A and B are shown apart, each in its own frame.
Chain A
Amino acid sequence: MSRAYANRTESTSLTAPALLFVAAWAAGGWLLAGASRAAATPLLQVIFHVLAIGGAALLLFFELSARASDPRSGLRARLIGVFRQLGGGDLIGAGELARTLDADLAAGVGRAVAGLATRVEQLQANSHSVAGAAEGVERGSTVLAASSAQQAAAAGEVTAAMEELSRTAAEISEHAERQNQLVLTAEGEGAAGASAVAEAVEGVGAVERRIADVTMRADTLGTRSREIFRVLELISDIAQETHLLSLNAALEASAAGGRGRRFAVVAGEVRVLAERVRDSVASVRSQIEEFASAIRSTVVATEEGGKEAARVLEEARAATGALGILRASLRESSEAARQISSVTRQQTSATEEVLSTLRELHQVVERMSRDLSQLSATSGRLRTIGLDLELLAQTFRLDSPRSLKRMVHEWAARLAGTPAAMAAGAALAGGGAGAQELIDELVGAAPFVECGCIVDPRGKVLATQIARDLRESNAEALQELRRRNLSDRVWFKKALESTRAVVTPPELSVMSGQPCIMIAVARRDAAGQPVAVVEFDVNVRHWTEIGT
């Protein structure tokens, strides 16, 4: 596009100074001719006339040559003009110029231009689709990336939970192991305790046997002493009888008188003997009684001891029973602990498997997430490319509803032609719309237009408007825009210089933060002078969304 403008400017700049030079020469020649009349030298007059004619011829030559390059004359020139238009992307201009060609050329060129127009239109449509698709891909990949990120996070959570479970299971297993060890220790001690109790029981049993032994002996001794008592009783009786016998003998002896005296002595000795026996018996009896009493005490004590032993034995048996129950429950506990240990170990290995699977999954998801990020980036680039493609397609001026350039041209055309009329703000009959009205309508007409302004040729903002949804948040910006002078803007300068619409590359909008392009065109009056520049910002995203 820029090249087309450059060529145009070049030819214009060459022709003008050349014409001036020639004109000046011609003018100078005639002046000299006039001045030389006074001199009335015929040579000089001829020279001056030749010079004037030469100048005029030069002037004519230049004019003719200029005309020769004017696309409005000459078939070749017109053909070149068609190609130039094509080169500039102005398919409509090329089509118009083609119609001025000879009939057969016009048809052929016209068909070629039409065909090109169709293809470009297709290209525009396809590029729009591409941009839309790229947008869709980008959105989809963003969503996908987000969901994969979520998935990764979820997988990470599950992994963490599983790891926690694994740790807990390991703890449980360890605990069960320790408990098992404790139970084994306790069992060992319980066994030792049980054997100790058994020994004690055995010992008590031995004591009981001893006691029974002692009791038996005491009984024997008791029996013996009773026998002894009986014997003593017998002896005592005999002694008593002997005593009586001695008394009776003494009595008889006394009755016998002198003859009985010796007998009385013997009787007396017998009596003494009987008394001695009686005393001995008494002594022995008392000793035996002491002995028997001692034995009885011993027996009683032994019996008490036996009872005590029996009690201890009973307690020991109870202890054995309790110990047995305890050991049984310990064994149960140990068994339970072993089972827990085994189960948790199984669980641990199962958990390990799950964990390793989860970790793999996690890695897969992460890879997928990265791939999706890349895809997102790629789709972003794709979208950018799609956008560029679309914009490129838009550089062709076509009679297509898609064409933003056409749109801006149409809107600009509706603008009133004079500053006064523009300022009036009211649609004059047949005179065009007021600036503010127009820009209001323009901004409201298309959803992809963020804002628009109408600027006078000096750069002063005549009217401006922002899209309704951006109005509130950007009220200050709007006010500032109204006060600004936009003469330094590239689009403004270019629009002034050209009859064609100007499109800028996408930039981030200050207002929406989204990529926008600016379309601008100069509204010219009948003389071709610019009276205003109509410009609007297009939100590229919104623009690519519509019409799909």
Chain B
Amino acid sequence: MSTTPYLLVRCGEKVAALPAAAVRRVVRGTRLHPLPGAGPGLIGLAEFAGEPLAVLDLAQLLGEERGSSRPPVTVVTWLGSGEERELVGLGVDDAIEVVELDPSALALGTALVGGRPVAVVDTERLGVEA
């Protein structure tokens, strides 16, 4: 049976699963430039592969309370789909591992990994409903 790889990340207390296909890179310690006047979800601006990268707070996007400290790990992710697909940095507390999940997980939006529930993120839709 085919499974789909997902990257497990931690945002505060929550663990989220991002589709591995959508994750370009996991980076840490990138230079983040804060943006005064920006919304609460934008952590700052960074540079990735010669392009400007907006880094959003994943926890805040998922509806979680944003922690006081800035998320140290940035998951450079393709958000959206098709032509309008754009690289966005997702700030998380930690990237854990790559796991294989059932394809139905995405539709469910949640899955059990090691007994723990994880939020399966649909990167195609993330941030658009906001």
Contact = CB atoms under 8 A, between A and B. Distances in A.
B20 interface: yes
Contact of B28 (A241, A250, A254, A255): A241
Nearest to B96: A247
A250 B98 contact: yes
Given A247-B7, A271-B97, A255 B20 contact: yes
Contacts of B97: 247, 250, 268, 271
Contacts, number: 37
B28 A240 contact: yes
Q: Is the interface of A mostly helix, strand, loop or mixed?
A: helix
A248 interface: yes
A240 B93 CA distance: 13
B46 interface: no
A241 B27 CA distance: 9
Nearest to A272: B97
A136 B2 CA distance: 173
Contact of A254 (B5, B25, B26): B5
A267 B25 CA distance: 14
B28 A264 contact: no
A350 interface: no
A254 B27 contact: no
A251 interface: yes
B21 interface: yes
B95 A254 contact: no
B119 interface: no
A247 to B, nearest CB: 5
Interface string A216-253: 00000000000000000000000011011001101100
B23 interface: yes
B21 to A, nearest CB: 6
Q: Is the interface of B mostly helix, strand, loop or mixed?
A: strand
A262 B43 CA distance: 36
Contacts of B23: 251
A248 B21 contact: no
**Chain A, interface residues (CB within 8 Å), range:** 10 to 19
A264 B5 CA distance: 11
Nearest to B18: A251
Contacts of B98: 247, 250-251, 254, 264, 267-268
B114 to A, nearest CB: 14
Contacts of A268: 97-98
Interface in A433-474: none
Contact of B7 (A240, A251, A264, A267): A251
Contact of B20 (A244, A254, A271): A254
B95 A244 contact: yes
Interface string B79-114: 000000000000000010110000000000000000
Nearest to A260: B5
A248 B95 CA distance: 10
Contacts of B7: 247, 251
Contacts of A254: 5, 20-21, 98
B26 A244 contact: yes
Contacts of A267: 98
B25 A248 contact: yes
Nearest to A244: B26
7 contacts: A244-B95, A247-B26, A247-B95, A251-B5, A251-B98, A254-B98, A255-B20
